[in-house]
Structure 1
Amino acid sequence: MRQRAFDAAVTGIGLVTPAGIGLEPSWDGLCAGVGLAATDPVLAGLPVDFSCAVPGFDGGALLGRRLTWRIDKFIQLAMVAAREAVADARLDTATWDGPRVAVVLGVASNGGDRWPVEYGNLAGGRVESISPATLPRSLPNMVAGEVSADLQAVGPCLTTSTACASGATAIGTARDLLRAGACDIAITGGTDCARVEMGSAAFYRMRALSMRGQDPAGASRPFDADRDGFVLSEGAGIVVLERPEYARARGARIRGYLSGYGASSDGYHHTRPDPTGDGARRATLAALADAGADLSEVDHVNAHGTSTPLNDRSEAAMLSSVFGRTPPPVTSLKGAIGHTLGAAGAIDAAITVLSLERQLIPPTANLDRLDEGMDLDVVTKKPRAHRMGGALTNSFGFGGQNAVLFFRAA
């Protein structure tokens, strides 16, 4: 590269996704290239009654019954992923310098697992039956607070909320804390649990969800001509970032580097993306400028690719505009695991680091016929071996909020 801004070393990854619990199960499930949505008993009776669920997730068994009694699932998912990421980085929480370890996590919706029960108590005049844990178990900032306490990572601790860009925004913010010298290590990423009745009903009323109830596994179809909306999901993605000199001094294995971060706002509409993709384009160019990289150094794009008609069309137009040609190979993980909202950007980031490390791109599930007018080279059907030195991840959210990350291979 011509010039390098501050590179944060990625030393650990933790994943909890509908493809599996853990880094390797999630990677293997995504590489299988099949849709994982299924009828969801949690959503029974609603117009959209299917989702992508994390298989076999038992918070009590993984974290202890006492803890899981007082925290909502979005926090449970993050805690499991954070523990794996720290273990993967070969860090010892008992001996590290806790005040020099930051926690920055992104949340979009947080789920609100218990709110229907507590509202029922309120509506029924049973105020004394409302759990005193109602607020601390569901406030978005509590995920960072709980992870901080669990790991004794007691440096800067915050939660970002930029809708479906939240996880990527958190990772970019954590990199900035490292760059500023506020910490040596950052536990960062995103989490969400959108498999709740109100979430399904509200997104249905917005006409954002796929209605392919007769074929849930084929419902999420990024960039496909027959896509009709996204699929609700849940999950968490956590990465450990370190100052490179700190990581090298302790002999850490470095999986990759976060070199660039760019953010922008569309200023266009509260839910619809700018059809020209201008805001996303500005975030992309900002990420590359931050990394001191040019377009020739982008060998892969992990797309936001939600499977909604408007988002995919806007993102495809943006990529063609930025590259001025067919962009490098593109994939969207949402074909397999649906839309994890605030966790999406973080899961995408983690998988992008693994793609660079393994020189392999997971396929986009359910893409049978690329939509007309999209000049994209989308990886489909099976993983693609591809020589890569750098890759972009795109994350866009309601409110026109955009976050783009640029990673380099180690």
Structure 2
Amino acid sequence: MVAVAPAASTLAMPVFYQAILDQQVIANISWGTPGSKPIPTVVDTGSYGFWVAGPDAIVNSGSPYLGQMGSCNETVEPAFNWPESSTHAGPYDQNGLKYPYGGAGKVITCPNAVNDTMNFDHGYPSIENVQVAVADFIHIKSSSTTCRGAHYDKSIMGLAPIPATIPGPMLHPELLSQGRVGSSVFSIWFDAPPADINEPQMGTLLFGDVPAGKYSGDLVTLHNAGVDRTEKGYYYVAMPEVRGARIDSKDGKKTTIPSVKPDELPLCLMDSGTWGMKIPSDDKAFYAATGLEADSPFLSPRYPAACTDIPLDAGFELAFTGKDGKTASVKIPYRSLAESAGMEPNTCRLNLQLGDNECTFGGTFYASAFVAHDDEAQTLQIAQGAVAGSAQGPPKGLRL
């Protein structure tokens, strides 16, 4: 697929990314009429299903064991109180639907589903009559017994390529089957990172198009290697070349950073719902090439400055070679990986896992790249994203 002009049959919503606070792709969705409080929704290319916490939904935690209830119960807030919406339809029985995540470390119970309107800010038009599962119970495996302030998801929009046998509401297949979007593709891109690391980086999720002008450099087409795996239904790409320049370098000369097992390169999971990134680079070689160091006793790198002081242009590169032989280089800013203060004063720990032969491109990658997913063509298209001005308001040509 190549970039085409926006079609009439496209739908879009605003998304955001925020280093330190939440390194996932998030959409604030206000449901129904009148609209609910905006509910942070994980835009997750690494899972199935579409659910939102309903009225009086409970999140349980406090036990480190799978399937065992903990001592902590909280009422989910914010949540979608669908009976108060004048535009809802349903509820529809879901036969005990459950969504497990992370090896069943998190299990969402959704007895019903409803249809209603999704509303957004920043001038994006509403999307009417969308079906979503309504959760009444969220169980999280956790050793923490602090019953206030724990992180939990209020809603997840799964966008992984869906096998036909998966039950429950699914947004992308629904939009396609109803003819509400004209293409199996969906694209995600972000504006340039803000100068203030504490401000969100704004982006767009667009169903039905691969728009031009939202990326820089070449847009390369890659095979979705997920279709070749025994476990179907996920997005994977071949491992790209990792390049880095020392942060104290004056000429910015980049070197290729070797992997832990150069002859056994893993495939890379494209998962916008995962925090940070994993790359199979040799950690010592990565530190030598970049000038970073391990934030011991943690396994993550650290930058030798406070998170707020990391330069916007500091980062490493991933170079993807497409089917046509062209290469797309995607720069991953260290600021976008900022997680917390490091173990040494005036340093910043980065949410980047090195040294294992694993590869996951989480929300941080999506905040840095332009990514188009095409389930029909079984491809992904990748280019350098985070282009200034690319996500300021809804794209032209949206169906209203």
Relative to the length of structure 2, the TM-score reads 0.29
Rg: which structure is higher? 2
Which gives a bigger RCO, structure 1 or 2 (Cα 8 Å, sep 6+)? 1
Relative to the length of structure 1, the TM-score reads 0.29
Would you tell me which structure has more helix in proportion to its own residues? 1
